Amino acid sequence: MFDLGSITTAVGSVGTAIGMAKTALEVRDFNASAAAISDASQKVINLQTQLLSTLGTLFELQQEKMSLAQRVRELEEHRSDRERYSLFEITPGGFVYRFNVSPETAGASNPGGMQPPHYLCQPCLDVRGHKVVLNERAVIWHCPECRAAVDNGKTIDVHFDI
């Protein structure tokens, strides 16, 4: 646990112990100075242990911060990508996401506007957050991932040549 207060207290206590050792040495009280030096040494060792543990915690926090920053970047990219699509009723009751190709979103400031028109699977995008481009088959738009099918409004002309 990162606890700056306890480190400050430990640093203060080392300073006090060193001060006592100096005072004992100045008055040539060797018994007292030996005890004070031993006390100061122990406090320095304790402080080192505490600092190492704090450095470990700081390292973990730094790693966590980097991974959160990466996650925020990914979510922002995902959101801005998502904003380039609008829900569109391609046939009555058939919903897809349509790429926005309006003049105000296309152009140099939004190179995405250069993409060819395409549709995304609505359940895949809304439910799973997956961007899946629909493929057009004879009379449907088909999702290769969830296999959803949306009527494309076309009909098949069947000719029987007899």
Nearer to Zn ion, 21 or 134 (CB): 134
Taking the complex as a whole, the smallest distance from the CB of residue 81 to Zn ion amounts, in Å, to 17
Taking the complex as a whole, the smallest distance from the CB of residue 127 to Zn ion amounts, in Å, to 9
Taking the complex as a whole, the smallest distance from the CB of residue 58 to Zn ion amounts, in Å, to 45
Taking the complex as a whole, the smallest distance from the CB of residue 104 to Zn ion amounts, in Å, to 29
Nearer to Zn ion, 93 or 111 (CB): 93
| Closest CA relative to residue 51, chosen from 95, 14, 86 | 14
Distance CA 57, CA 69 (A): 18
Length of the chain, please? 162
User: Which residues sit at the interface with Zn ion, rule CB under 5 A?
Assistant: 121, 124, 132, 143, 145-146, 148
Residue 99 and residue 115 in contact, taking contact as beta carbons nearer than 8 Å: yes
Determine the residue type at 159. H
Nearer to Zn ion, 28 or 147 (CB): 147
Across 40-71, b (16+ Cβ under 10 Å) vs e yields beebbeebeebeeebeeeeeeeeeeeeeeeee
Q: Which residues, 6 or more positions from 118, have their beta carbon under 8 angstroms from its beta carbon?
A: 99, 133, 134
Nearer to Zn ion, 60 or 136 (CB): 136
